Copies of this chain bind each other. A is one copy, B any other.
Amino acid sequence: MGPVSRTPIPDAARRPGRPSYDRDSLLEVAVEVFNERGYDGTSMEDLAQRLRLSKSSIYHHVAGKEELLDLAANRALDALFAVLEDEGEPASTATERLERLVHRSVEVLAAELPYVTVLLRVRGNTPAEQRALLRRREFDHRVAALVSHAAAEGGVRADVDPHLAARLLFGCVNSLVEWYRPDGGLPVATLAGALRAILFDGLRDAAER
């Protein structure tokens, strides 16, 4: 159980045939429904049906749909910020840190795929969505700062604006949610290595440069 779990529902309170959830497992199902129907398009009634719980049983675990979005988005964002804040070798250059960030972000995306997918589809119509977008923008700014730092060191090409480069790098990483499935036979290490190789050294064969 993760840090967001609460005490399980006592047996006496369960109705026969109803599944029991802690907050993590309830979140897991809610996130599935968000990704199928969109967060906007999901009602508490939809969640209750999928969970085979009454709405009041859901409210035992969370204050509502917005709290579920907070939990889902923060799970993805906490993992991404952890990668960003892990400085690695003290002597590493900004370019090395940027490369490692891209590589490890692919790993986070694969490990937390449904949560990252929810995060990336947030559109900002409600306060919970705006909170997620705000943290996501903070992440993007810090990536752009790292690209600028790498450019100042001369490690990355100077003919692409660092903010644009940061958008393109993470646009490419984020696009993986559209098709990558960790159980589909392509190991995440292969995927992360290929994306890192293309983004930093290019698809062109080295001998052709």
Give the CA-CA distance A198 to B205 in the complex, in Å: 14
Some 21 contacts from A to B, beta carbons below 8 A apart, are: A38-B38, A154-B208, A155-B204, A156-B203, A156-B204, A157-B197, A157-B201, A157-B204, A160-B197, A161-B194, A164-B186, A164-B190, A168-B195, A169-B198, A169-B203, A171-B172, A171-B176, A175-B175, A198-B199, A200-B204, A201-B204
Name A201's closest neighbour in chain B (CB-CB).
B202
Name A203's closest neighbour in chain B (CB-CB).
B156
Name A140's closest neighbour in chain B (CB-CB).
B179
Q: How large is the interface on A (under 10, 10 to 19, 20 to 34, 35 or more residues)?
A: 35 or more
A205 with B38: CB separation less than 8 A: no
**A85 interfacial contact with B, CB 8 Å:** no
Closest 9 CB pairs of A and B: A202-B202, A171-B175, A175-B175, A201-B202, A172-B172, A160-B194, A200-B204, A156-B203, A200-B202
A174 with B178: CB separation less than 8 A: yes
Give the CA-CA distance A13 to B14 in the complex, in Å: 63
